[in-house]
Structure 1
Amino acid sequence: MKYLNVKRIDWYIIKKFLGTYIFMIVLIISIAVVFDINEKIDKFMTNNASLKEIIFDYYLNFIPYYANLFSPLFVFLAVIFFTSKMANNSEIIAILSNGISFKRLMKPYMMAASVIAIFSFVFGSYVIPPANASRINFENTYVDPRQRKVGDTDIQFKVGEGSIVYFSSFDIPSSTGTNFSMDHFDSLQLVSRLTARSIRYDSLYRWTIQDYQIRNFDGLQETITKGESIDTTIQIVPNDFIIAKTDQQMMTSPQLRHYITSQKERGMGNIQAFQIEYHSRIASVFSAFILTLIGAALSARKVKGGMGLNLGIGLALSMGYILFMTISSSFAVKGGMSAFVAAWIPNIFFTAIAFYLYKKAPN
């Protein structure tokens, strides 16, 4: 670390920051687990969930998911807690009195925030999504079976260049769609239309069509072919058009990016939650730095109210940040706001607060 010119005081602050951050996670997540057990114990017992499933399939995946989800909150509270303590012990005053500027004081804070941001991004983008599959499957089985994907109606989208499919309905448990049709166009000219009473998904891209009719058009001539059953390949799977509200949590960031791109090409309009998830994972990296700066600037000054006042203000600001994220995400899903804007508006707003508090910080 010599090339970073890390001093003993820097290591002191980094250790305090990371130690308090881990302490906050352990304390708050432990409380959350206790409340969650208390809330769901009846459902666990009613639906005969085994102790092994509860521990390994649910809580071992519950803990990292929520620890990472509320990481900005833990960063904020950790910074305010240990910085207020340093200020009350006159350590901040001693540091600044020795000619170290507040800007220089922020160096170890930002180094610790960088460590947290990198781990949060890697875990949130690549490690936690696969683990979420076990947690969500457990919840859908033992907590709220109504959340399972069962099907949808009136499904229409593009599957290739000039090809559009339609399902009157699709049932997930049986992997069967009804009143299926697939139209092929050459420019704006309809060249063929396949209709079927039902269609069943078999394996990767393989479908079995029942009671079908194919109409081929060649100018004013029309050829009709009918049959009882035919196996065919269509470049779609049920997960492409039957979407649960938690599906985006189970995708890694590269999978999210690919899914969003492919769904846009198919003309699907229900991808806002996936876009918000993708942009939020990136925005959360920067939130660690923004909230660190706010927390340090807010609590570096010794005040009469002591640590309690700073923690109160910190809790209010952190709750405001989470509320802001929730409201902007809701507007993106239901109000037509851009997912990118929804993910970044909280950071932009709190960056302005950070800049103001930085200017007012003691030097």
Structure 2
Amino acid sequence: MLTILDKYILKRYLATFTVMLMLFIPIGIMANLAEQIGKMIDNEAPLNEIAYYYLNFTIYIGSLLFPIFLFLSVIFFTSKLANNTEIVAILSSGVSYGRFLRPYFIGASIIAIIMFVMGMFIVPNASKGFNEFKYKYLKKGKQDRVTSNIFNQLNENDFIYVSSFDPARQRGYNFTLEHFNDKDQLEYKISAGNIRWKEKDSVYELTSYMKRTLVGNKEVVETKRKLDTIFNFQIDDLTPVSYIAETKNLFELNSFIKAQRKKGASNINSYLLVKYRRWALPVTAFILTIIAVAVSAAKRRGGMGVNLAFGIGVAFIYIFFDKVFGTLAEQSGFSPMLAVVLPNVAFGIVGFYLLQNAKR
């Protein structure tokens, strides 16, 4: 059961965090609108799509900044408690430091649950709307996917390649499909000058079609100027959009990663990074809460300003390490799990050290 002390601190914890969100998110919206309004007007973005974009923007950006807002809000209200000598009074009354931290952990648990539910099920849909609007109106003409030298493994036996892909026209150029048997021997190879998806007929149109089939020691060649056929892949599967993993919920992402592993996707690490970051985000709420309390629970010369300055510095260092390890995982083969775990472990150790000093 929550005591008066628990309710008092927990109320301040949640209220300050909520106010922080309510203050900074509108500022972020106004700053983004001021920067992008010209492009929206030039590209004739409808008002209803703009409104929907900023709804998604609020959810998407808010989720990214949740840990930072949480960290700064805990520093802010804990510093006020320290400056008003309330923490000294609480500890002098016989309350242990561990007992004093209890409402902070309850608050962190509530925020962690919200982060988990949002990150796994709500933010993916917002990310899809946010990115689709961005590439449709704000980055018009820029590609949101890799469009050259695309290689994909469809299953254990089939491999496809296109030298370039035009998403707008649903057309790939210099298409090749190779089929191997269970003994890893090439059975046939299909090549075409281009491949186009004909949505009306639900077939693929191959131009300058050629099929080479190996029958024993002989090679059978079949050629046609054009051929309509069916393949067991979608044209967009040739090259998923760069933000595809962000748009999938917990279950969809697991299935997607499993399928991409089977295909031998070269950018599998970027998908795994998204997955592990979602799982690590709730843990971050506890780590940052510990650090924030440890650095702001003591009354300092300079007051709240010193604590906030320290907090902002720690926040930037955390973001820096997160970006560095994330880039390593995406571009150099570094383990995505380690890229997510190492910054949290490092800051967890820092938090534990600071907490031990604060107790003294």
TM-score bracket for the superposition, by shorter chain length: over 0.9
2:43 is matched with which residue?
47
Deviation of residue 60 (structure 1)?
0.9
SS at match of 2:162: strand
Deviation of residue 110 (structure 1)?
0.9
* Per-residue deviation, residues 120-175 of structure 1 (Å, max 9, x unmatched): 11111111211222222221122111334476222222112221112122211111
Long gaps (5+) in structure 1: none
1:25 is matched with which residue?
21
> Distance between the aligned counterparts of 1:185 and 1:34, measured in 2?
56
* Per-residue deviation, residues 30-80 of structure 1 (Å, max 9, x unmatched): 22112112211221222222333222x211110111111111101101111
Question: Does structure 1 residue 330 correspond to structure 2 residue 327?
Answer: yes
2:83 is matched with which residue?
88
**Is the deviation greater in 213-222 or in 81-90?**
213-222
Question: Does structure 1 residue 194 correspond to structure 2 residue 190?
Answer: yes
Question: Does structure 1 residue 260 correspond to structure 2 residue 257?
Answer: yes
Coordinate RMSD, CA, aligned: 1.9
The 1:283–1:147 alpha-carbon spacing in structure 2 relative to 1, beyond 3 Å, is farther
Structural mapping, 1:190-339, within 5 Å: 190-202=186-198, 206-339=203-336
> Distance between the aligned counterparts of 2:45 and 2:158, measured in 1?
45
Is the CA contact (8 Å cut-off) linking 1:151 and 1:171 kept in structure 2?
no
> Distance between the aligned counterparts of 1:300 and 1:148, measured in 2?
49
2:115 is matched with which residue?
120
Deviation of residue 86 (structure 1)?
0.7
Query: Structure 2 counterpart of 1:133, which letter?
Result: K
Is the CA contact (8 Å cut-off) linking 2:145 and 2:240 kept in structure 1?
no
1:73 is matched with which residue?
68
SS at match of 2:352: helix
> Distance between the aligned counterparts of 1:50 and 1:213, measured in 2?
46
SS at match of 2:32: helix
Long gaps (5+) in structure 2: none
Deviation of residue 291 (structure 1)?
0.2
The 1:339–1:353 alpha-carbon spacing in structure 2 relative to 1, beyond 3 Å, is same
> Distance between the aligned counterparts of 1:201 and 1:86, measured in 2?
64
SS at match of 1:361: helix
State TM-score, norm by structure 1: 0.93
> Distance between the aligned counterparts of 2:202 and 2:179, measured in 1?
18
The 1:43–1:144 alpha-carbon spacing in structure 2 relative to 1, beyond 3 Å, is same
2:11 is matched with which residue?
15
**Is the deviation greater in 280-289 or in 122-131?**
122-131
Is the CA contact (8 Å cut-off) linking 2:56 and 2:127 kept in structure 1?
yes
The 1:335–1:151 alpha-carbon spacing in structure 2 relative to 1, beyond 3 Å, is closer
> Distance between the aligned counterparts of 1:46 and 1:100, measured in 2?
62
Deviation of residue 82 (structure 1)?
0.7
Deviation of residue 205 (structure 1)?
8.3
The number of equivalent residue pairs is 358
SS at match of 1:215: strand
SS at match of 1:147: coil
**Is the deviation greater in 10-19 or in 196-205?**
196-205
SS at match of 2:141: helix
> Distance between the aligned counterparts of 1:121 and 1:148, measured in 2?
31
Question: Does structure 1 residue 109 correspond to structure 2 residue 107?
Answer: no
| Of 153, 158, 167, the match for 1:172 | 167
Query: Structure 2 counterpart of 1:189, which letter?
Result: Q
State TM-score, norm by structure 2: 0.93
